Amino acid sequence: MTPGVSFKVHATDGAARTGELTLPRGTIRTPAFMPVGTAGTVKAMYPDQVRALGADVILGNTYHLMLRPGAERVAALGGLHTFANWPWPILTDSGGFQVMSLASLRRIDEDGVTFRSHIDGSEHRLTPERSLEIQALLDSDIRMQLDECVALPAHRAAIEKAVYLSLRWAERSRTAFGGTEGRALFGIVQGGDIPELRLASAEGLVAIGFDGYAIGGLAVGEPQETMFAMIAATTPSLPADHPRYLMGVGTPEDILGAVLRGIDMFDCVLPTRAGRHGVAYTRYGKINLKNARHASDPRPLDPYSDCPASRDYSRAYLHHLVKSEEMLGAMLLTWSNLAYYQRLMSGIRAAIGAGRAEDFAAETVEGFAEGDIPVLA
Amino acid sequence: MTPGVSFKVHATDGAARTGELTLPRGTIRTPAFMPVGTAGTVKAMYPDQVRALGADVILGNTYHLMLRPGAERVAALGGLHTFANWPWPILTDSGGFQVMSLASLRRIDEDGVTFRSHIDGSEHRLTPERSLEIQALLDSDIRMQLDECVALPAHRAAIEKAVYLSLRWAERSRTAFGGTEGRALFGIVQGGDIPELRLASAEGLVAIGFDGYAIGGLAVGEPQETMFAMIAATTPSLPADHPRYLMGVGTPEDILGAVLRGIDMFDCVLPTRAGRHGVAYTRYGKINLKNARHASDPRPLDPYSDCPASRDYSRAYLHHLVKSEEMLGAMLLTWSNLAYYQRLMSGIRAAIGAGRAEDFAAETVEGFAEGDIPVLA
């Protein structure tokens, strides 16, 4: 591990484990869910609210921040932590994934990727070195290598090509990162839905040596069982004393299943994006507040929650806010969803400590299956 | 005054005065600024945040709430206070003003006004009686008579017609209200920019007798001096022991000028709407955060403010949020603006108590005239 960075596993229960990833700006309790703060803000939340929910780390997106306000500007303003009023750990991605999903006219070559901004059409270039330079300007605590992520389904040849390009970029990223004290660098396992390519990717990365290992290229449209199979195929070749991060995942069910298979860290836009679209994640499962069944319902989303957003506002009011496109609707549902996700993580951490991770996961999923409380007579 | 409602003047300084309007749900310290909670939410704010800023009362709009979620539904859900999680006083308007500004196909007759909803085109009717019935269903603490508000400039004949129609509606509103214990009914002075019509309107209302008297039909495009002249022409005929409310006003300068002329209550969408459009109201005056001068400025809006939104976030970050259309931009600027408005009101109240209301107003306006802090070198 890079000096100033440490990871300790506390308890294990099957493949699941709890641990702590410690960095100068704070300790991340794992398994951890990292709220996504795309452009330097977890959408519709004040930063201290996010912290109060138990988030030890948030994500920043290199692609968004390099385009606006610009990495050099953020650096001049004291780095992303000062800029965004979030003094605790921040993980930044490499920018590669969003170049592929958002930018136009992207051209990938051996050295890197050229693309046009989705904001103003200006041309930009990302290489493994420039990505790490941007992440250093942002001064994020956990930095990711640039990789190539292939959408599934894909031909084996395309997946294989991406695996080896990503490994060469991993090597260059490692060199570019250097070993900045107190900052961590994660490599990213690719390999699509082909177990032996996942294995080759993981072994290649471990040979280079990273502080942590991410699994990328999942939750890109494949069935959940494929995702779980790829995790199971990968984690055994990743060193147990380093954190494992499943990128872009996922639903509560996805997260629980992945924790049971040895994953320590997650990020996903689901709770925040759903919150802006009238959807709540609760102990009763997913609830669509746009549905007319809530229009006259005086009950809160979840009377047992300790989050004011879930407990103190009626479904009727939330329905009204969502239908009226009032900002408070997005604010309350995002808050409630992130509270639920953080509660889920503290729940699974406690369950692992108590040796009942499988039971906790099963009980939680059963709760979803039972569905929402019945409509009032 | 209606039983359960009382108004006490504490200090006077020229025409300016401080007082307390007491209702069962709480006491309103005057001069008061009432944040506008159009559809049952002060946009981009949590209700307890609004309260913590020192707001003793918020506004709800009858027009919006009758159309969505519907007054009968709000009543079934326990009234607007329960619905919107705001247990303190609420003032509702009559709906008339927004029928005129938002609805389509409106037809006014002696009995009331028929219009189509701007949401779904459905036909609705408001009469003085139905407006009071809706306000009773919402169970607001302060209710307003239905009136006809004429946009300026206008012909004398049109203004005069509206004054006398509004007086007949005032009479019917008084009867419809009955004298509900613990709830207040305000009449509304009309008369455009014609002093003798303002006087006739005020005298007509006082003869009927209301808990408070509003001045309507100002801040509708006329110069500030006209507005001040109309206030000066009206307040002497309003009873000193009843609260006076200037509807829909205004800028900090408007409010200070009106307080000096004897006004006790204000509402305006300015601080909340401006906050959603990247504009801050501060001790330095109006600041447009969209302006590129803020893009690299690490300083907060106002380092002397006790509002976290004004004090703890850099102008560069606010600029970034506004340019990126991030919800947090609207959240922070609305918060900062309402904090400034409430601070302005507590400042003028203290100044009236100290016999230096004119000085306070002059110093505040001088602060605006000095303008924003200089750009960093």
Distance CA A131, CA A126 (A): 6
pLDDT at B104: 84
Look up the pTM and report it.
0.98
Q: Which amino acid is at B163?
A: V
pLDDT at A159: 97
Instruction: Check if A75 contacts B (Cβ < 8 Å).
Output: no
Q: Which of B13, B56, B267, B372 is catalytic?
A: B267
B267 is catalytic: yes
Residue appearing with tokens 């991770």: A357
pLDDT at A224: 96
pLDDT at A100: 86
**Chain B residue numbers touching A316 (CB-CB < 8 A):** 69, 73, 77, 83
pLDDT tens-digit profile, chain A (377 residues): 999 999 999 999 999 999 999 999 999 999 999 999 999 999 999 999 999 999 999 999 999 999 999 999 999 999 999 999 999 999 999 999 999 888 888 999 999 999 999 999 999 999 999 999 999 999 999 999 999 999 899 999 999 999 999 999 999 999 999 989 999 999 999 999 999 999 999 999 999 999 999 999 998 889 999 999 999 999 999 999 999 999 999 999 999 999 999 999 999 999 999 999 999 999 999 999 999 999 999 999 999 999 999 999 999 999 999 999 999 999 999 999 999 999 999 999 999 999 999 999 999 999 999 999 999 87
Q: How far is B248 from chain A (nearest CA, A)?
A: 21
Other beta carbons within 10 Å of A330:
23
Task: Please measure the distance between the N-terminal and C-terminal CA atoms of chain B and give it in whole angstroms.
Answer: 59
Q: How many residue pairs bridge chain A and chain B with CB atoms within 8 Å of each other? A: 98
Based on the number of CB atoms within 10 Å of its own CB, is B240 exposed (0-12), middle (13-18) or buried (19 or more)?
Answer: middle
Residue appearing with tokens 């906050």: B275
pLDDT at B177: 98
Based on the number of CB atoms within 10 Å of its own CB, is A304 exposed (0-12), middle (13-18) or buried (19 or more)?
Answer: exposed
- Residue ranges of chain B with per-residue pLDDT less than 70: none
Residue appearing with tokens 């509103």: B173
State the ipTM, two decimals: 0.97
- Do residues A202 and A217 touch, judged by C-beta distance below 8 A? no
Nearest to A69 by CA among B61, B329, B37, B371: B329
A264 is catalytic: no
Residue B196 Rama label (left phi>0; alpha psi -120 to 50; beta) = alpha
Other beta carbons within 10 Å of A117:
16
Nearest Cβ partner of B328 from A41, A314, A326?
A41
pLDDT at A221: 85
Distance CA B52, CA A136 (A): 39
- Do residues B136 and B129 touch, judged by C-beta distance below 8 A? no
- Do residues A145 and A169 touch, judged by C-beta distance below 8 A? yes
Q: Which of A141, A147, A267, A372 is catalytic?
A: A267
Q: Which of B13, B56, B93, B193 is catalytic?
A: B93
pLDDT at B376: 85
**Chain B residue numbers touching A312 (CB-CB < 8 A):** 85
DSSP string across B257-285: HHHHTT--EEEESHHHHHHHTTEEEETTE
Nearest Cβ partner of B312 from A85, A320, A326?
A85
Nearest Cβ partner of A328 from B41, B316, B326?
B41
